[in-house]
Amino acid sequence: MASHSRTKSRKDRIMDAALRIFAEKSFQEATISEISKEAGVSEATIYEYFGTKEDLLFAIPEKISNDTAKESQAVLPFIKDVEGRMRAILFSYVQLYQNNPHYSALVLLQLMSNKRFRQTAAHEAIRRSAHSLLEIIREGIADGTFRSDADAYLIRSMLMGTIEHLFIHWHMQGMPRREKSIMDMLDPFLEIVLNGIRAKKEQQGLTLHLNLEDARALGHLLQNEQTAKLPGSGASAPRRTKHKMDKTYKRKEHHS
């Protein structure tokens, strides 16, 4: 058991060292020799775990994505509403990229443009997280939380694409410290998207109708009160005024 623990720790050290060097120097420029020195193991030890440098590269996002997905899946069953589950997945996604800048740099700046990466288990692990978000959006459309004409693929692409764009821009600028982090932007951004796809409830129309009726009633009440306050007018003032107008109108008709 202790041997298994040491083996796992050594493998993790290799992957951690490789992640830092790949992110800082690029995959092409990094060497197994550098990674072995960083990890404190021999080059032969690295090849015991990973057949090639590329195998080591692809193993990193596979492990990290699977670990993150397990954490998310452990939380999601306790969140009943669709919007809450969407927030949980996106929060986990942003937290992973923001707290692990080497990882987000490696995935977004190097791996996403790698055709071979798209054929690996590592890419499939990342796609599973994206698919979970897609399924939650579909559920929201099916249960009436979101508009029936909403496009689940488009919404998913809008959410994840915007987050990835923000992180790419952040890396391209040299990861500057900002007053607001990308995590700080998540809730306002998500609220904008949700406001655009939420279904319009019939209750909202009913509330508007009742408010209009109340406004009309209040308007009539205020008008009557103002009329009653006119000099020389009492409670029956509106009726006397109407009576005089009717008599005047009849006299005009008679003369004509």
Q: Kindly write down the DSSP assignment for every residue of 103-126, as one continuous string.
A: HHHIIIIIITT-TTGGGSHHHHHH
Q: Which amino acid is at 75?
A: V
pLDDT given for residue 204 in this prediction:
40
State how far the alpha carbon of 93 is from the alpha carbons of 90, 179, 224, in Å: 5, 21, 61
The tens-digit pLDDT sequence of the chain (256 residues) is 444 445 568 999 999 999 999 999 999 999 999 999 999 999 999 999 999 999 999 999 999 999 998 888 899 999 999 999 999 999 999 999 999 999 999 999 999 989 999 999 989 988 888 999 999 999 999 999 999 999 999 999 999 999 999 999 999 999 888 888 999 999 999 999 999 999 987 534 443 344 555 545 545 655 665 555 555 544 444 444 444 445 444 454 455 4
State how far the alpha carbon of 206 is from the alpha carbons of 1, 43, 169, 199, 210, in Å: 66, 72, 45, 15, 6
Q: Which two tokens stand for residue 153?
A: 């693929």
Q: Which two tokens stand for residue 156?
A: 């998913």
Measuring CA to CA, which residue among 96, 129, 119 is closest to residue 19?
96
Cβ 134 vs Cβ 159: under 8 Å: no
pLDDT given for residue 126 in this prediction:
87
